[in-house]
């Protein structure tokens, strides 16, 4: 996730900006940069791809700069390059901006500005902000920043410098966190308190829809409608370490709780329920006719990404009537797969660097198939080599166990299935609209499921000493059983197996006794009654059932030892919600067992070797 900091002081601010960026490094980033206005001779802008430390060499260039902004970038639009790094300048060199968030209507604005002769230098959505403000200024707007902000759609935390008003730092907030720090005769603005904590603990939290103008004399905040707002300062008592984890004890829990926002970012600018459509820009090079005639669609990935692929199989089969095969990348690459001209391979990878997934992608391409990626890390090898694809925009995932990457991968596959279902003429406009509306509500349902963390912790207490567990699910929730079991294995070191519920009779039932906890996904759908029968079978053998059920389903509760309720959602979207309690169950079991949650033994975040 991008991090931003701005400083206005009576002393040189270069070192403070770089120190602030270093304290934002934990958020994950791929490039960084700063801009200061130097007495007398305008902006000095320096940017680098890679570590923040590389900017240290430019510190002497910032001498004389008493006002400045800086940024760590986590690429969303355009790969991590020096040009795409922030700050961005307007063509006329008057305005410099740093941006955290996504400008959803950037393409429309960019096209419009290009018609006026504005020359864009980067591929980012953010540059449009600098160019738009300058455009408004050229058109004589009294307040060009406000005029420009009113035309932006999406999420943004912005810091803006104006060369013609070099004693003022402007901060704008809409959907991305932003605070002002009050120092001794100097002021700071930042996306995150970690950036400024070394200098002050007195802060003002700006609200969405507000603009703050900061000078050495103080600051004024007003709404986008220009109404003044007064905020009382608060004091930060946290230490940097706990801010990094958002106050949570582990990155994994922070990332679980971040899932509603990760999904909103994933949907931004793509999900258009009003028009009843989904628009995934990154797959535009796949011609409509190619998708209409698609013969074979193979999805590949490893671990959790492979589980997302399995959910995708159900989604694409059901909504787009595509025949899909899902293959472990490590298997696919060494087989003699029937993949060639007219076929498509989708490679799913959070990191975009997993060696087996990359090799499978190359193998498919070598055989003449088209390839596309679903990746989180912009500019990663798989994303670049695929050329065509969709970024999940989950933000950096630091915990080794994948959580928010998984839900955004599944959500991306759901959007893909809706878009292709419409394109292939097998999904009606009404159904597509309804699904898009339901999808848009999923972040709220996930937030609700996250709210049950304490209940789930109590359940985890009851099972934390177990050595084995079974996870059962059916249909589109069978992959969720696999994912729940994987989470428990990798972070709590409890042996767990995921099974299709009906397969239990063909073997695993022999394992069931009073010591075997069985986690059953039993939410409402057309086979819920059959799952209830499976629960009876487990109970008859004294197995202990932890059921994930739809709110209000008392019959499941009567037959389970414990029930975790989740909100009612269309069954085809239920994996997005049902996985949440399973992530939390594994997390709490691991915490109770004292495991090292964010870095489980023997595991790496990105497996770049075979
Ligand atoms: C499990 C987990 C792994 C990854 C797998 C693929 O929690 O994180 O199973 O899903 O190593 O990684 P990516 O998605 O980076 O290709």
Digit-coded pLDDT (tens) for 457-479? 999 999 999 999 999 999 999 99
Q: Which atom of ligand 1 is nearest to the CA of 307?
A: 10
Q: Whose CA is nearest to atom 3 of ligand 1?
A: 303
Residue 91 Cα to ligand 1 midpoint, Å, equals 42
Please give the model's pTM, rounded to 2 decimal places.
Answer: 0.81
Determine the distance separating the centroid of ligand 1 and the alpha carbon of 20, expressed in angstroms.
31
Task: Find the mean pLDDT for residues 567-576.
Answer: 97
Closest ligand 1 atom, CA of 400? 8
Please report the pLDDT score of residue 1 as a whole number: 66
Reading the block at residue 560, the tokens are: 């389970």
Give the pLDDT of residue 64. 94
Q: Could you tell me which of 415, 467, 406, 403 has the C-alpha nearest to residue 440?
A: 415
Residue 609 pLDDT more than 70?
Answer: no
Q: List the one residue out of 307, 485, 323, 484 whose CA is nearest residue 409.
A: 307
SS3 state at 7: strand
- Mean pLDDT for 75-103 is 94
pLDDT category of residue 610 using cuts at 50, 70 and 90 = low
Atom of ligand 1 nearest to the CA of 357: 16
The verdict on domain 451-596 having CATH code 3.40.50.10490 is yes
Residue 350: CB within 6 Å of ligand 1?
yes
Q: Is 519 helix (H, G, I), strand (E, B) or coil?
A: strand
Q: Which two tokens stand for residue 289?
A: 């006719």
- Does the C-beta of 261 come closer than 6 Å to ligand 1? no
Q: What is the pLDDT of residues 228-274, one digit of tens each?
A: 999 989 887 767 766 778 889 999 999 999 999 999 999 998 997 66
Please tell me the predicted confidence (pLDDT) of residue 28.
77
d(CA 246, CA 240): 10
Residue-wise pLDDT tens digits, 522-561 = 999 998 999 999 999 999 999 999 999 999 999 999 999 9
pLDDT digits (tens, 9 = 90+) for 482-507: 999 999 999 999 999 999 998 988 99
Give the Cα separation of 154 and 505 in Å (integer).
50
Say how far apart CA 546 and CA 585 lie, in whole Å: 10
357 lines ligand 1 (CB under 6 A): yes
Mutate to test the pocket of ligand 1, among 252, 326, 354 (most ligand atoms within 8 A of CB): 354
Q: What's the CA-to-centroid distance between 327 and ligand 1, angstroms?
A: 14
Query: What band does 381 get if pLDDT is binned at 50, 70 and 90?
Result: confident
Asked if residue 490 has its Cβ within 6 Å of ligand 1, the reply is: yes
Active site residues: 2, 605
Ligand 1 centroid – CA 206 distance (Å):
36
Are 356 and 302 a contacting pair, CB within 8 Å?
yes
Alpha carbon of 349 to ligand 1 centroid (Å): 7
Q: Judge if the beta carbon of residue 409 lies within 6 A of ligand 1.
A: no
DSSP labels, 201-247? SEEEEPPTTEEEEEETTEEEEEETT--EE----EE----HHHHHTTT
Ligand 1 within 6 A of CB of 401? yes
37-48 pLDDT, tens digit per residue, is 997 779 999 999
191 lines ligand 1 (CB under 6 A): no
Mean pLDDT over residues 158-173, rounded? 97
Q: How remote is the CA of residue 536 from the centroid of ligand 1, in Å?
A: 35
Give the pairing type, strands 179-182 and 202-205: antiparallel
Mean pLDDT of 149-176: 95
606 lines ligand 1 (CB under 6 A): yes
Q: Check if the beta carbon of residue 148 is closer than 8 Å to that of residue 129.
A: yes
Residue nearest to ligand 1 atom 6, measured at CA: 302
Q: How far is CA 532 from the centre of its chain?
A: 35
Query: Measured from the CB, is residue 304 less than 6 Å from ligand 1?
Result: yes
Nearest Cα residue to atom 10 of ligand 1: 304
Cα(147)–Cα(151) distance, integer angstroms? 7
Q: In the chain, pLDDT over 70 holds for what percent of residues? A: 98
Most confident of 196-200, 371-375, 598-602: 371-375
Q: Which helix (H) or strand (E) holds 112?
A: helix 106-115
Q: How far is the CA of 352 from the centre of ligand 1 (A)?
A: 10
pLDDT confidence of 86, banded at 50, 70, 90? Answer: very high
Q: Residue 113 carries which DSSP code? A: H
Backbone torsions φ then ψ of 368, nearest 5 degrees: 100, 0
Atom of ligand 1 nearest to the CA of 304: 10
Contact 371, 345 (CB under 8 A): yes
Please indicate whether the domains covering 3-236 and 451-596 agree at the CATH topology level: no
**Residue 547: predicted pLDDT:** 97
d(CA 350, CA 376): 5
pLDDT at res. 24? 86
Q: Within 116-167, where are the H helices?
A: 127-138, 144-149
CA-based nearest residue to 90, from 67, 108, 116: 116
Q: Is the CB of 355 under 6 A from ligand 1?
A: no
Residue 577 has pLDDT above 90, yes or no: yes
Q: Is 351 in the pocket of ligand 1 (CB under 6 A)?
A: yes
**Which atom of ligand 1 lies closest to the CA of 303?**
9
State the Cα–Cα distance between residues 8 and 166, nearest whole angstrom: 10
Closest CA to 487 of 251, 252, 299: 252
Instruction: For residue 401, name the pLDDT band (cuts at 50, 70, 90).
Output: very high
| pLDDT of 276 | 66
Instruction: Determine the atom of ligand 1 nearest the C-alpha atom of 401.
Output: 7
Measure 154 CA to ligand 1 centroid, in angstroms: 29
- What topology is assigned to 245-439 in CATH? Rossmann fold (3.40.50)
Write b or e for each residue in 282-299: b if 16 or more Cβ atoms lie within 10 A of its Cβ, otherwise e: bbeebeeeebeebebbbb
* pLDDT of 177 higher than 90: no
Confidence check: pLDDT of 416 > 70: yes
Tell me the best of 346, 348, 350, 586 to mutate to test the pocket of ligand 1, counting ligand atoms within 8 Å of each CB and taking the most. 350
CB atoms within 10 A of CB 281: 11
Degrees, nearest 5: CA angle 165-169-172? 120
| Domain ranges for the chain | 3-236, 245-439, 451-596
Q: What CATH homologous superfamily does 3-236 map to?
A: Aminohydrolase, N-terminal nucleophile (Ntn) domain (3.60.20.10)
Q: How far is the CA of 348 from the centre of ligand 1 (A)?
A: 9
Q: Is 324's pLDDT higher than 70?
A: yes
Atom of ligand 1 nearest to the CA of 406: 10
For residues 427-435, give the mean pLDDT: 94
Ligand 1 proximity of 349 Cβ (cutoff 6 Å): yes
**What are the φ and ψ backbone dihedral angles of 588, each rounded to 5 degrees?**
-65, -40
300 CB within 6 A, ligand 1: no
Distance 350 CA to ligand 1 centre (A): 7
Asked whether 392 lines ligand 1 (CB < 6 A), one says: no
Residue 363 in contact with ligand 1 by CB distance below 6 A: no
Q: Parallel, antiparallel, or unpaired: how do β-strands 297-301 and 324-328 relate?
A: parallel
Query: Among 249, 77, 264, 37, which Cα is nearest to 155's?
Result: 264
Q: What is the mean pLDDT of the chain?
A: 93
Alpha helices, DSSP H, located in 451-521: 453-463, 478-492
CA nearest neighbour of 105 among 72, 131, 136, 129: 129
Distance CA 421, CA 430 (A): 12
Tokens of 30: 């791929």
Distance CA 449, CA 578 (A): 8
- Closest atom of ligand 1 to 607 CA is 11
3-state secondary structure 314-332: HHHHHHHCCCEEEEEHHHH
Question: Residue 449, exposed/middle/buried by CB under 10 A (0-12, 13-18, 19+)?
Answer: buried
The answer to whether 490 touches 603, Cβ cutoff 8 Å, is yes
- Say if residue 604's pLDDT is above 80: no
């Amino acid at each position: 996730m991008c991090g931003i900091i701005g400083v206005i002081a009576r002393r040189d601010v270069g070192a403070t900006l770089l120190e602030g960026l270093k304290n934002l490094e934990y958020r994950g980033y791929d490039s960084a940069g700063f801009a200061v206005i130097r007495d007398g001779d305008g902006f000095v802008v320096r940017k680098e791809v890679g570590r923040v430390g590389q900017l240290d060499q430019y510190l002497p260039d910032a001498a004389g700069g008493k006002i400045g902004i800086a940024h760590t970038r986590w690429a969303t639009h355009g790969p991590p390059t020096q040009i795409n790094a922030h700050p961005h300048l307007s063509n006329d060199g008057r305005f410099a901006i740093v941006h955290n968030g996504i400008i959803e209507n950037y393409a429309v604005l960019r096209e419009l500005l290009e018609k006026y002769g504005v020359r864009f230098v980067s591929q980012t959505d953010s540059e449009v902000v600098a160019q738009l403000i300058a455009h408004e200024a050229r058109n004589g707007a009294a307040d060009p920043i406000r005029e420009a902000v009113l035309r932006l759609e999406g999420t943004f935390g912005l810091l803006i410098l104006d060369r013609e008003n070099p004693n003022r730092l402007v901060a704008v907030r809409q959907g991305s966190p932003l605070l002002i720090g009050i120092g001794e005769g100097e002021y700071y603005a930042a996306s995150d308190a970690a950036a400024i904590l070394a200098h002050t603990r007195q802060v003002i939290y700006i609200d969405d829809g507000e603009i703050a103008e900061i000078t050495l004399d103080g600051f004024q905040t007003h709404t986008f409608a220009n109404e003044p707002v007064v905020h009382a300062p608060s004091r930060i008592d946290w230490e940097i370490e706990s801010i990094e984890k958002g106050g949570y004890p582990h990155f994994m829990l922070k990332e679980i709780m971040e899932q509603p926002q990760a999904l909103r970012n994933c949907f931004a600018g793509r999900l258009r329920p009003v028009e009843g459509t989904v628009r995934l820009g990154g797959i535009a090079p796949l011609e409509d006719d190619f998708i209409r005639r698609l013969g074979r669609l193979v999805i590949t990935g490893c671990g959790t990404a492979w589980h997302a692929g399995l959910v995708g199989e159900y989604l694409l089969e059901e909504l787009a009537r595509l025949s899909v095969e899902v293959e472990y990348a490590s298997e696919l690459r060494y087989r003699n797969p029937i993949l060639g001209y007219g076929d498509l391979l989708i490679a799913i990878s959070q990191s975009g660097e997993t060696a087996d997934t990359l090799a499978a992608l190359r193998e498919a391409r070598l055989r003449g198939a088209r390839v596309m990626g679903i990746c989180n890390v912009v500019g990663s090898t798989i994303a670049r080599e695929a050329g065509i694809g969709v970024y999940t925009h989950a933000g950096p995932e630091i915990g080794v166990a994948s959580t928010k990457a998984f839900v955004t991968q599944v959500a991306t596959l759901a959007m893909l299935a809706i878009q292709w279902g419409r394109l292939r003429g097998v999904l009606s406009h009404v159904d597509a609209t309804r699904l898009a509306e339901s999808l848009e509500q999923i972040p709220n349902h996930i937030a609700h499921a996250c709210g049950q963390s304490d209940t789930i912790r109590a359940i985890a207490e009851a099972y934390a000493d177990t050595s084995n567990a079974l996870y059962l699910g059916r249909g589109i929730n069978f992959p969720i059983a696999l994912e729940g079991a994987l989470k428990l294995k990798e972070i709590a070191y409890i042996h767990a197996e995921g099974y299709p519920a009906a397969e239990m009779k063909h073997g695993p039932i022999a394992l069931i006794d009073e010591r075997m906890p069985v986690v059953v996904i039993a939410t409402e759908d057309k086979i819920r009654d059959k799952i209830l029968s499976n629960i009876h079978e487990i109970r008859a053998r004294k197995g202990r059932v932890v059921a994930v059920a739809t709110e209000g389903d008392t019959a499941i509760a009567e037959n389970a030892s414990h029930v975790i309720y989740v909100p009612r959602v269309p069954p085809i979207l239920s994996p997005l919600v049902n996985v949440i309690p399973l992530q939390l169950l594994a997390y709490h079991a691991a915490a109770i067992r004292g495991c090292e949650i964010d870095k489980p033994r023997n595991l790496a975040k990105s497996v770049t070797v075979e």
